Amino acid sequence: MTVSPNVDLELMRASALLESDPAAAVYRARDILAANPSHPEASLLLAAACRKLGNSKDAVLALEALGEVSRNTPLMQLEIGRAYAGSGRGEAAIAAYRHAVALDAGLADAWRELATQLFAAGDVQGGDTAYAHYSRLVQDPPQLKDATVAVAENRLEAAEAILKRQLQLAPHDVIALRILGEIAVRREDLAAAESRLTTCLALAPGYAQARYDLANLLHLQHRDAEALPLVERLLASEPDNIDFLSLKAQAMRLLGRSAEALSLMEQAVASHPGEDRAWLLCGHLLREIGQPARTIEMYRRAIETRPQCGHAYSSLANLKTFRFTPGDIATMRAHLADSSLRNSERTHFEFALGKALEDEGQFSESFEHYARGNSLQRAVVGHDADAMTADIRRAKALFTPRFFADRHDWGSRSVDPIFIIGLPRSGSTLLEQMLASHSQVEGTRELPDVPMLALETMSHSNPTDGPMYPVSLTALGQQDFEGLAARYLSRTQLHRPMAKPRFVDKMLANFGHVGFIHLMFPNAAIIDARRHPLGCGFSCYKQMFARGFGYTYDLADFGRYYRDYADLLDHFDAVLPRRIHRVHYEQVVRDPERELRKLLDYCGLQFEPQCLRFYENRRVVQTISAEQVRRPIYTESVDQWRHYVTWLGPMQEALGNLLDRYPVQ
């Protein structure tokens, strides 16, 4: 066969029409084939144009007419796979795509389309593996790289503008959607983040990074029962991935499977001895199950692995009963003097050195380091004090005596839950441990279910633009609250493996949901764990929390937050007299039996002496007070804040007259 010297030019002209006018491309390709039968490139063009017109049958015929040699190229096999896929011949499409990547493992489109067909055939792991190949090969467009840099530099508005422009051009760009999800997480708009990541996975089920981000997001919200299957799917393709292993261990931990989580991380550190975060997580798990010596060993191993691991030093400081050596203090000073130290690590070192110097009685220098650590953390953790005050005003305006009188017989009769509310570092873990030592009470953890149910009420009456909480509760009727209570009990059942009659829900921020809780469970116990404002405030100020609690990193912010919290609970004391039982930490320390008897009587429980021996309870404790509640009550920390009162002026000013009103001075 003699090929016309103009055929290449004609082929180029026809190819240029493929996207804009595939019908014209078909005519030109057929003209070329009429003069040059079995021309491979013309056949490939004809098949592609037919497929774009929805005529997969002719596309298949055009390609099958070629000889075996002509078809045995990566691009030809890719187009054959597309033609088969378009005509519903999934197995044949998979075979063609596999042939294409066998011929050229760098053909990204073939891997992506192979993944699509494998998912359609129900081969989830195969699809995930194929999509992982595609992800490694595809190059992000420059504008997405610009957006990634902007996010890393915390220029969120600039990044968002870039990404939204990209989505206008390419609405199904899953990378842009995923980065927008990351931005939403940074802004604490978790609903928007979840929506974007879910859309990513609908468009690209094999997008591992989006699945990992979604699992992390669910873990952040304590929705670990939902996160765990996502992580297990990721591990099916990459069983030794340290990120996936760590996230699975953390999810298992919060589902009450600490022993399994520890076993998993012990395997992980054996496989990844150079990963300091694996040693850290091992230490956290050992701390929770009450093995202090091994906990310290794991944190020390993290430091050996990476000497600049500030998180390991702050984790040691969080043990409270641990004391740093002079060598440790000198090392921390040296790291802080290093100008190349990352701010994220510097923050941990500042908090840890503050604690070390506090233990040495060097309170002035200790406070300097606490202040620097808080300043660094406050710069990356947001808190809107005005929004908090507005929330409190809105709640007070809604929850009037008349509001509750009109709903006095609503809700569940169940008394199963015992809600502990308040602020961090107020002795709430001590109360939980006392109650969990009772034969009729099961300790759980900080359960996210009340906030999640509250969030759902905002879309109850209008799914697209529901009323702001708690006004959204006005749209609900008696049966709605009974249904919400039943859902709460069903969801929390997972955390009650011993099936005891009562259980503790120690989500402290539920103080903002007291009205909602009362409407669901009018007979359930609500306990406010209260501590002297300056004692509570300074204890929070010297603590670097794992996440959230943005109000604790500024003295004035904390004072205002405490004032808003106390104001709301004063309001409920007025509209629902004797509904909330208040326990003052200082009184528990001074006379634990008297306070315990009052607490148990309020909960409708008989006094049991073992509740005073709470430190013998070997249950897993998942808060930073884990070490403290495994020893008898001690008084050393009650007035520790008084050493720092000179520097607490901004907090005192923001608290106003609350200091004079606090009953225990």
- Containing 530, the helix (H) or strand (E) segment is strand 525-530
Given this model, what pLDDT does residue 320 score?
75
593 pLDDT band, cuts 50/70/90, is: very high
**Predicted local distance difference test score (pLDDT) of residue 619:** 55
Q: What is the pLDDT of residue 40?
A: 72
Average pLDDT over residues 273-288: 90
**Three-state secondary structure string covering 485-497:** HHHHHHHHHHHCC
569 close to 510: Cβ distance less than 8 angstroms:
no
Task: Give the model confidence (pLDDT) of 557-580 as tens digits.
Answer: 999 999 999 999 999 999 999 999
Measured CA to CA, the distance from residue 396 to residue 388 in angstroms comes to: 13
| pLDDT at residue 635 is higher than 80 | no
- The residue among 661, 437, 436, 639 whose CA lies nearest residue 539 is 639
Confidence of residue 602 (pLDDT cuts 50, 70, 90): very high
pLDDT value of position 52: 74
Tell whether pTM > 0.95: no
Q: What span, in angstroms and rounded, lies between the C-alpha atoms of 111 and 115?
A: 6
pLDDT in tens, 40-84: 777 777 677 777 767 777 777 777 767 565 677 888 888 888 888
Summary mean pLDDT of the chain:
89
The residues, ordered by sequence, that sit 6+ positions from 560 with a Cβ below 8 Å of its Cβ are 385, 388, 389, 551, 654
Q: 307-311, 516-520, 546-550: which has the minimum mean pLDDT?
A: 546-550
Confidence band for 479, pLDDT divided at 50, 70 and 90: very high
Least confident of 272-281, 356-365, 505-514: 272-281
* pLDDT single digits (tens) 370-419: 999 999 999 888 789 999 999 999 999 999 999 999 999 999 999 999 99
Position 98 confidence tier, pLDDT thresholds 50, 70, 90: very high
pLDDT at 636: 66
Q: Which amino acid is at 368?
A: E
Q: What is the mean pLDDT of residues 227-252?
A: 93
Class of residue 69 by CB neighbours under 10 A (exposed 0-12, middle 13-18, buried 19+): exposed
Res. 287 pLDDT band, cuts 50 70 90: confident
pLDDT at 255 exceeding the cut of 90: no
pLDDT, one tens digit per residue, over 417-440 is 999 999 999 999 999 999 999 999
The pLDDT value given to residue 3? 46
Q: Span 636-663, mean pLDDT?
A: 92
Maximum Cα–Cα distance for the chain, whole Å? Answer: 105
Asked if omega into 470 is within 30° of 0 (cis), the reply is: yes
DSSP state of 510: G
What average pLDDT score do residues 510-538 get? 97
pLDDT value at 632 more than 90: no
Q: Tell me the two tokens of residue 587.
A: 């009184």
Q: Among candidates 570, 561, 622, which has minimal Cα distance to 428?
A: 622
Q: What percent of the chain has pLDDT over 70?
A: 89
User: Phi-psi bin for 144: left (phi > 0), alpha (psi -120 to 50), beta?
Assistant: alpha
Give the confidence band of 11 by pLDDT, cuts at 50, 70, 90.
low
Q: What is the spatial distance between Cα 447 and Cα 449, in angstroms, rounded to a whole number? A: 6
Where would I find the beta strands (DSSP E) of 544-633?
A: 580-584
pLDDT at position 1 over 50: no
What pLDDT does residue 2 have? 44
The larger pLDDT score, comparing residue 34 to residue 359, is at: 359
Q: Which of 87-91, 353-357, 418-422 has the lowest mean pLDDT?
A: 87-91
pLDDT at 67: 59
Q: How many residues does the chain have?
A: 665
Distances (CA, A) of 213 to 143, 221, 234, 238, 497: 21, 13, 11, 16, 29
- Residue 434 is predicted with a pLDDT of 94
Would you state the pLDDT for residue 50? 74
Give the Cα separation of 195 and 393 in Å (integer). Answer: 30
Check pLDDT > 60 for residue 168.
Answer: yes
Closest-CA residue to 441 (of 523, 498, 509, 520)? 498
Which residue segments constitute the domains of the chain, with CATH numbers given? 322-380 (no CATH), 387-457+475-661 (3.40.50.300)
Strand arrangement of the beta sheet that strand 417-422 belongs to: 441-443, 502-505, 417-422, 525-530, 580-584
H or E stretch at 528: strand 525-530
| CA-wise closest residue to 538 among 384, 370, 359, 353 | 370
Across residues 204-212, what is the average pLDDT?
95
